[in-house]
Structure 1
Amino acid sequence: MKQLLLFFLFLFTITGHSQQKAADSLPFQKEVGFKYASLLLPTGLVSYGILGIKNDPVRKWDRDFRNSLDPNGTKTFIDDYILFTPIAAAYGLDLAGIKGRNNMLDKTIIIGTATLLLYASVNIIKNNTDVRRPSGRSQSSFPSGHTAISFMAAEFLHQEYGQVSAWYSIAGYSIATATGFLRIYNDKHWFSDVMAGAGIGILFTKIAYWLHPLLKNVIFKNKTLESHVQFQITPLYTGNDLLLATSLRF
């Protein structure tokens, strides 16, 4: 229990503090340009994760943290499902009449862009690092794809509804943090894998919001009716990894 509390406090404190300023201001304000300072947190998390591949002190912390969680204990599969909750919440709130930062079409373009960037990067990194999972079942441990998806979803919910209420941001990042912890608890990933995954998820969501005006004006400029947009997210489980298949139709 002590390790669980420390993990939650560590991840939630650094992510929550970095997002607090935006969540405290109403009404919504469109960002002007791209704020490079917003990349400090995600790049820091990714950098820490990269250190864990070869750095002995970081690897030792990974092993110590994993061993403290009783790796031979009872496992749970809830982390395979809760990671999508913030995305579903963002769309559900919109359908319920609670308007966020963007309309349904813009939300779809943004989360679709973030998903494509995330999966391309995660798959490339996994195929070129060959880090063995704590369970020893495969060599696709780095980075944590589940954690990347969950923090992408949390950042998406924060960006859309953090200025409506800070509790939406808190809920999203709580779910993401729980997902990251459970990946370690279930003996799927090391602590450094989870840190890198969290950074990747936040990073590409921020980049997707940055790219959104360009994509909307250049590629989707004639797509003005939200009713013409069909967006589908389908989870696919391969036995070792959880994939997120996306479909966008106009």
Structure 2
Amino acid sequence: MRFPLFKSVGLSLLLAAPFSPTRAQQVPKPAADTLHKFERPATGVGAVVKKSFFQSKGFRASVVPAVLIGYGISTIHGHGFYSSYDAKSDINHLFGPGRHTHVDDFLQFAPYLELGGVLLAGVESRNDRVNLGLVILKSELIMVSSVFIVKYATNIDRPDGTPTAFPSGHTAQAFLAASILHTELRDKSQWYGIGAYTLASGVAALRMINDKHWESDVVAGAGFGILSAHLGYLTHRYRWGHKPGGTASSLHVTPLYYAGATGLSLNWQPR
């Protein structure tokens, strides 16, 4: 009779062991999470990372034009560290009075000729021909409208006495074309852009040498041209054709059988 008693006591101890206070103290209670709320958001695949203002496309597209336009405004007439009058005096000293050439009238479109020649040679541009043409058309409209609005709003006389000097339309046109060429071909070689900006700078210099514009006009004109090109790209949504580097629209056709009837299921996903 003694052994069954021991067995029953031992069984009772085993059953009570998981619920005893001693066993409960051996399992530590997890501490409150007070650290993860201060961690940075995840940066892996699928994580949404908000860019700062200085990393945004709008800031990067406008910072250089803003500096050029701002500097141009600061040097109107006799103002600024190196004013338009100072630049005019140095040009007269170097080249003398009475300079006249029409080379700049044609040179302002030279970056477009360079772009066309490179494309005809078989070099692939960033965008297809349709989207490239639309970007150029949009950028030209932005440049022409903004330049002429500012011209007639400021109504500053040119060095030769004729009106509407600020900003220089020839210089804006040249730098607009150079910016588009640089954007389209910079992945192929940086020398394309260097050549285009060199031509555009030549246009700006000739406008001052020909007594058609002040220093302030050509510097601000370069800013207007570059800004117009950047706005043309930023506002383009590639509705005609597909954006290079992306995936074209997909159409999936699958057979369908439901309630004794057969058919086809169409799934079209635009990109």
Structure 1 residue corresponding to 2:63, chosen from 29, 33, 40 = 40
The CA distance in 1 between the partners of 2:168 and 2:157, in whole Å, is: 12
Are 1:147 and 1:201, in contact at CA under 8 Å, matched by a contact in 2? yes
Q: Greater relative contact order (Cα 8 A, min sep 6): structure 1 or 2?
A: 1
Paired-residue identity, %? 37
Q: Deviations over 1:67-96 (max 9, x none)?
A: 334451442211110111111222332233
1:154 counterpart = 2:178: yes
The gaps in structure 1 that reach 5 residues or longer are 1-31, 223-250
Name 1:236's counterpart in structure 2.
none
Partner SS, residue 226 of structure 2: helix
CA deviation vs aligned residue, 1:175-196 (integer Å, no higher than 9, x gap): 0000000000010000110000
| CA distance in structure 2 between the aligned counterparts of 1:185 and 1:35, rounded to whole angstroms | 34
Distance 2:231 2:112 in 1: 17
Q: In the aligned structure 2, how far is the partner of 1:212 from the partner of 1:66?
A: 41
Displacement of 1:113: 0.6
CA contact under 8 A between 2:104 and 2:207: conserved in structure 1? yes
Contact 2:112 2:181 in 1 (8 A): yes
Offset at residue 203 of structure 1 (A)? 0.7
Deviations 1:94-121 (A, max 9, x none): 2332111011111101111110000000
Structure 1 residue 127 corresponds to structure 2 residue 172: no
> Displacement, 1:54?
5.9
Moved more, 44-53 or 139-148: 44-53
Correspondence 1:113 to 2:138: yes
Asked if residue 181 in structure 1 is aligned to residue 210 in structure 2, the reply is: no
Structure 1 residue ranges (4+ consecutive) displaced by more than 4 angstroms after TM superposition: none
- SS in structure 1 of the partner of residue 166 of structure 2: coil
CA radius of gyration, larger in? 2
| TM-score w.r.t. length of structure 2 | 0.64
Kept in 2, the 8 Å contact 1:71–1:187? The answer is: no
Alignment of 1:91-110 (within 5 A): 91-110=116-135
The alignment partner of 1:196 has SS state of helix
CA RMSD of aligned residues (A): 2.1
- Give me the TM-score of the superposition, normalised by structure 1: 0.69
Contact 2:131 2:241 in 1 (8 A): no
Whole-Å Cα distance in 2 between the matches of residues 103 and 221 of structure 1?
A: 8
Distance 1:142 1:65, change over 3 A: farther
Aligned counterpart, 1:68: 93
1:75 and 1:55 map into 2 onto residues whose CA distance is 24
